[in-house]
Amino acid sequence: MKSRAAILHGIGQDWKIEQIDIGEPKAGEVLVNWKYAGMCHSDEHFVTGDMVPPDEMLAMMGGKPFFPVLGGHEGAGVVVEVGKGVTSVKVGDHVSASFVPSCGRCRYCSTGKQNLCDNGAGTLTKGMITDGTSRHHVGGEEITVMAGLGTFAEFTCVSENSLIKVDNDLPLNAVCLVSCGVATGWGSATNRANVEPGDTVVVVGIGGIGINAVQGARMAGAKRVIAIDPLEFKREKAMELGATHAFASMDEALAPVMEMTWGQMADKVIMTPGVMYGDLMAGANALCGKGGTMVVTAVAPITQDSASVNLFQLAMYNKEIKGTIFGSLNPRADIPRLLGLYRDGQLKLDELITREYPLEDINIGYQHMRDGVNIRGLIKY
């Protein structure tokens, strides 16, 4: 079949709306009609080149060119066809995308670490994670499908392992948000940082992920939730959704955090800027108190291999630095759990949606993201 799609042909280029060809789903695969797609910063990292594998890495990953790329890894839609052996969803089911697949059988899935599923290794290369062959082509050329999902197309063929069935009465724009940004931010606070009642928590960067780290810290019982972002609009939004204080920069926040904690500083610092550069860790370390935890959630340029961390302080103050993907959550359990919290009014999702765009306006939507006027923009099909 054919579908409209947003394709990126190279670093620094705009997304181009083209018609792609999609093959029928094979064993373990599902054809999905996406209704919403989230405009997450991770797809912007392809435009800037921050997340484009260098040639030597591509050679290790099979040697095929990275571009063209079909973007989109946040999404919600409806199942329209299933391949042989598919059991977790059926035609007509509503589904959430899961940018980290979960096979349920590998070492990581079987020990409660679905966010590290071995299937994830194939989600940034050409070919399906099921058998390595391609279902998506543009002009006869294979397409790299972001996260194996490609929600910047009305229809895509997806591995069953990358879909989570959700209740059909839930609004699909809310379901879309939970598939990446909400889960990643919320889990960064509640799970990876392990925020506890009474903690002082600093969240650096209030975008689609950071705003949900704020929500997660609030729901976990933090005494203080300190939001840091240079944009007043985002600081105000953070205060609406659970922050107790807001500052424009880590430097600006340093003295107030010292004063409000009587010199003990933050228990948890969660790093969710648009791009994670190594020198930002110096500010995180300064804000983090003895025995504290720094969680690095945001994506850094793929070739960056240095960070500004005072190793003496790290050891002598018994601090720790943790990375996280998908908030270290388990998508099959936690996506439905988050939607349950939304249904009960405890997790705010509708308030996160700043604007909805038709697919043809994707470049306008991403410019709005760069300009800082969106918390989260959605594509509505």
The question of whether 136 is a catalytic residue gets the answer no
For residue 94, indicate whether it is catalytic: no
CA distances from 337 to 76, 179, 255, 270, 359 (A): 16, 12, 38, 22, 29
Residues 261 and 353: their CA atoms lie apart, in Å, by 33
Q: Which of 3, 41, 42, 109 is catalytic?
A: 42
CA distances from residue 287 to 16, 217, 243, 319, 326 in whole angstroms, order as listed? 42, 16, 16, 11, 24
The catalytic residue among 40, 103, 176, 288 is 40
Amino acid at position 168, single letter = N
Q: Is 42 a catalytic residue?
A: yes
Distance between CA atoms of 251 and 82, rounded to whole angstroms?
Answer: 53
Would you say 20 and 136 are in contact if contact means Cβ atoms under 8 Å apart?
Answer: yes
The CA radius of gyration of the chain, in Å to the nearest whole number, is: 20
- Answer whether 198's CB lies under 8 Å from 223's CB: yes
Paired tokens of 348: 């705010």
Closest Cα partner for 11 from 62, 68, 61, 60?
68
Task: For the beta carbon of residue 295, count every other beta carbon within 10 angstroms.
Answer: 29
Respond yes or no: is residue 73 known to be catalytic.
Answer: yes
Nearest to 44 by CA among 354, 206, 274, 374: 274
Strand, coil or helix: what is 301? coil
Task: Identify the active-site residue in 41, 73, 94, 136.
Answer: 73
Residue ranges of the alpha helices (H) in 14-119? Answer: 41-48, 55-60
- Known catalytic residue: 245? no
Q: Which of 103, 157, 180, 288 is catalytic?
A: 180
Report whether 117 contacts 161 (CB < 8 A): yes
Half-sphere exposure of 346 (CA within 13 A, CB side): 13
- DSSP per position, 322-343: EE-SGGG--HHHHHHHHHHHHH
Count CB atoms within 10 A of the CB of residue 136: 26
Taking a C-beta distance cutoff of 8 angstroms, is the pair 186, 215 a contact?
Answer: yes
Catalytic residues: 40, 42, 45, 73, 180
